[in-house]
Structure 1
Amino acid sequence: MATMTAPPEAAIVKLDRSSARIKWITAFSMMTLPGLGTAAAAVLLWQGIFTATDLWLFAGMYLVHMFGITIGFHRYLAHKSFKTSRFFEGVLMIAGSMGGQGPIMYWVTTHRRHHRFSDRDGDPHSPNLAGAGLAAKLRGLWWAHMPWMLSDESSSWRFWAPDVLRDRRLFFYHRTYQLWMVAGLLLPAAIGFAVEGTATAALTGFVFGGLARMFLANQAAWCVGSLSHMFGGRPFDNGDRSANNWPVAVFTFGEGLQNNHHAFPGSYRHAVRAWEPDLSGWALTVLGRLRVVRDLRQPDAAAIAARRARGPRGDRAAA
């Protein structure tokens, strides 16, 4: 893809008042309701009203949530960094939808637009466009973390994701997003009830494996667009402020290695060195050896060395 200096008119859609209101309410609900559940989880922990099952449910659903987003929505769908079977594709799309970060078309179009205009006008969630000075930096950081989702703009489906739009199988998962998102909240409640056999266990399973998991996993994921575009190492000159933020990378299974990722957006691995934390990349390597996934794309050592040696990319493509 060629570099764009400004977003073309067809790339960004200005929502009408009704659509903008629906988007605002939906985004605000997904930002706040899981937070209330997390507060409830903190109270339950303080009062000792939980079991080991609740903690296992939180951990297990966190894995499902993060792998669904990082491997499914991001590396598979947005960047086409590997191929897989229809069955495993469905597993990834359902797991990603359980994360509550929005339907497939919303996620992919927003992300591809971010790559095309990273930290420039047109980027939907850059922390670096609010101006100079500490106050402006803090406003930008906060905007990039959550409030950007409340804007009355939308990224055009036809412009950014025509491949997904014309794939009926993938679009099915887009249309049924709400079903899978709710299932991701009810599943830990059902497991809690099945294991412990009480209504209280169902409730605590819902709180820990559902709401608290969704809130904390998404807070970590949103740090990728905020903290990882302001703080961290920059081994590659990408012409933007993408950075390798290791603490964010740990909690997001490699997504915090943003500088690496923006240098090689089509790679299934975000780590370019063996010791860089990229759990999703490691998982995909294992899945490749098991032949669950195939055609894993990654740069070789020569390409990485050459990329380090040259300046900002002329091509800032999302794939």
Structure 2
Amino acid sequence: MTTSAPPLAADLVVADATLGGDIQSRKEQIALGAFIVVPFLAVLAAVPIAWGGWLSWTDLAIMAAMYWLTGHGITIGYHRLFTHKSFKPNRFVKNTLAILGSMAIQGPVVRWVADHRKHHKFSDRDGDPHSPWKYGTSLRALWKGFWHAHMMWLFDEEQTPQRKYAPDLMSDPDIVRISRGFFGFVLVSLLLPAVLGGLITWSWQGALTAFFWGSLVRVSLLHHVTWSINSICHTIGDRPFVSRDKSANVWWLAIPSMGESWHNLHHADPTCARHGVMRGQVDTSARVIWALEKVGWVHDVRWPVRDRIQSKLVVNQA
């Protein structure tokens, strides 16, 4: 009689980290729809509510701070660190970025990374989860593809296999715990602005308006800016670098996207920690990584190399 060897610790983590299956349930689709529609309705109501006096400097400060923190959790954490390994952080920075990214309410970190790695593998080809060119190049097909890339792909029943595209994260106990605690961080993200607004103003009205602006409006704005990288930045814009897809730079999205809209360079050199590599290209995500490196909290940062960047310019191709 033979006995099998006991599973390794890493194997146990992987077996315990099925953070949502490979098929999206109806219940998950309904929850996803709610997290998209409700904040968007708040954006539609924002102008009359602000006009009516239900907007204060406290609300704006809370909304801006939450947008900055959770947005950089996506751009620096989910994207440049966990997806592309653009730098190596200490454990505190790693976990903090994973938590802040979770608070952006764009899905658990393992799921997000798996989707994005698959996007890079098949960018603007069959297999890409969110290419705006999915249905063809006619105006009608592109319009349909644009909305697919922007948000409708999120409702696809077939999900990206996490074990295939993010095995490294599924063997990291810290990241597994944070991914599995995603809905807890969603609650923190939604309730924290209200708590801060109530404490600062010492009023229920302050808590309510801070929730409206710092939670609902902030989440919707960040959602649509992030999704615009998939839709707008793969449809229109400048393409100074050689890439095998239709990724493009869109300058007017640079500040709200925290540097992510310098998307053409990103697809030309995915592991580069800075996306805005040309003069005048604002990239706050790269600046934060630079500051973290200066204080010794991250290392082995993959900064752009001048010769490598020059070799990828379209004008320098033979």
The alignment's TM-score, normalised by the length of structure 1, stands at: 0.89
**Residue number in structure 2 paired with 1:188:** 193
Stretch moving more, 202-211 or 36-45: 36-45
Q: Say yes or no: does 1:96 pair with 2:109.
A: no
- Measured after TM superposition, the shift of residue 106 of structure 1 is 1.1
Residue 47 of structure 1: aligned partner: 52
Match of 2:230 in 1: 225
Partner of residue 128, structure 1: 133
Q: Map of 1:168-247 to 2, 5 A cutoff? A: 168-247=173-252
Match of 1:292 in 2: 297
Structure 1 stretches of 5 or more lacking a match? 1-12, 312-319
Q: CA deviation at 1:26?
A: 2.4
Q: Which moved more, 1:268-277 or 1:34-43?
A: 34-43
Deviation per CA, 1:238-291, whole angstroms, max 9, x where unpaired? 111000111122210111111100011101111121411211112211221122
* Secondary structure of the corresponding residue to residue 153 of structure 1: coil
- The whole-number CA distance in structure 1 between the counterparts of 2:168 and 2:298 is 20
Residue 155 of structure 1 aligns to a residue in which SS?
coil
Aligned to 2:277: 272
Q: Deviations over 1:6-39 (max 9, x none)?
A: xxxxxxx862xxx431331122112111112323
- Give me the whole-angstrom Cα distance separating, in 1, the residues matched to 2:113 and 2:253: 21
**What is the number of equivalent residue pairs in this alignment?**
296
Match of 1:36 in 2: 41
The alignment status of 1:147 with 2:136, answered yes or no, reads no
For residues 41 and 57 of structure 1, the distance between their equivalents in structure 2, rounded to whole angstroms, comes to: 15
Q: Following the alignment from structure 1 to structure 2, what is the Cα–Cα distance between the partners of residues 149 and 77?
A: 20
Moved more, 166-175 or 33-42: 33-42
The code of the aligned residue for 2:161 comes to: S
Deviations 1:160-213 (A, max 9, x none): 000000111111110011111110111110100110000111111111101100
**Aligned partner letter, 2:167:** P
**C-alpha displacement of 1:98:** 0.7
In the alignment, is residue 108 of structure 1 matched against residue 77 of structure 2? no
Whether the 8 Å contact between 2:22 and 2:161 is mirrored in structure 1 is no
Query: Does the aligned pair in 2 maintain the 1:38–1:207 contact within 8 Å?
Result: no
Moved more, 282-291 or 208-217: 282-291
Q: What RMSD in Å do the two structures reach over aligned CA positions?
A: 1.5
Answer yes or no: is the 8 Å Cα contact 2:229–2:260 preserved in 1: yes
CA distance in 2, matches of 1:221, 1:121: 22
SS where residue 277 of structure 1 aligns?
Answer: coil
Matched residue of 1:266: which SS? Answer: coil
Amino acid at match of 1:169: D
Q: Separation in 2 of the partners of 1:140 and 1:196?
A: 45
1:250 matches 2:255: yes
Give the whole-Å Cα distance in 1 for the aligned partners of 2:59 and 2:261: 27
Contact 1:228 1:248 in 2 (8 A): no
Cα contact 1:105–1:174 (8 A) shared by 2: yes
- State how far apart, in whole Å, the 2-side matches of 1:281 and 1:39 are: 32
- Answer whether contact 1:38 1:212 (CA < 8 A) is retained: yes
Match of 2:306 in 1: 301
Deviation at 1:131, TM superposition (A): 1.3
Q: Give runs of ≥4 in structure 1 deviating > 4 Å.
A: none
Q: For structure 1, which segment, 37-46 or 265-274, has the greater mean C-alpha deviation from structure 2 after superposition? A: 37-46
User: Is residue 291 of structure 2 the alignment partner of residue 281 of structure 1?
Assistant: no
**2:169 maps to which of 159, 164, 167:** 164
Find the counterpart in structure 1 of residue 11 from structure 2: none
Deviation sequence 1:52-85 (CA, Å, 0-9, x none) = 1001111111101211100111111111111111
AA matched with 1:218: H
Contact 2:274-2:304 at 8 Å conserved across structures: no
Aligned partners of 2:273 and 2:304 also within 8 Å: no
| Residue matched to 1:27 | 32
Q: Which amino acid aligns with 1:276?
A: Q
Per the TM alignment, residue 310 of structure 1 is displaced from its structure 2 partner at its CA by 4.8
CA distance in 1, matches of 2:150, 2:188: 26
Task: Verify the 8 A CA contact 1:254 1:270 in the aligned structure 2.
Answer: yes
Q: TM-score, normalised by structure 2?
A: 0.90
- For 2:117 and 2:80, locate their aligned partners in 1 and report how far apart those are by CA, in whole Å: 12
CA distance in 2, matches of 1:67, 1:299: 20
Does the Cα contact within 8 Å between 1:71 and 1:92 map onto a contact in 2? yes
**How far, CA to CA, are the matches of 1:299 and 1:167 in structure 2?**
28
Percent identity between matched residues is 39
Question: Which residue number corresponds to residue 3 of structure 2?
Answer: none
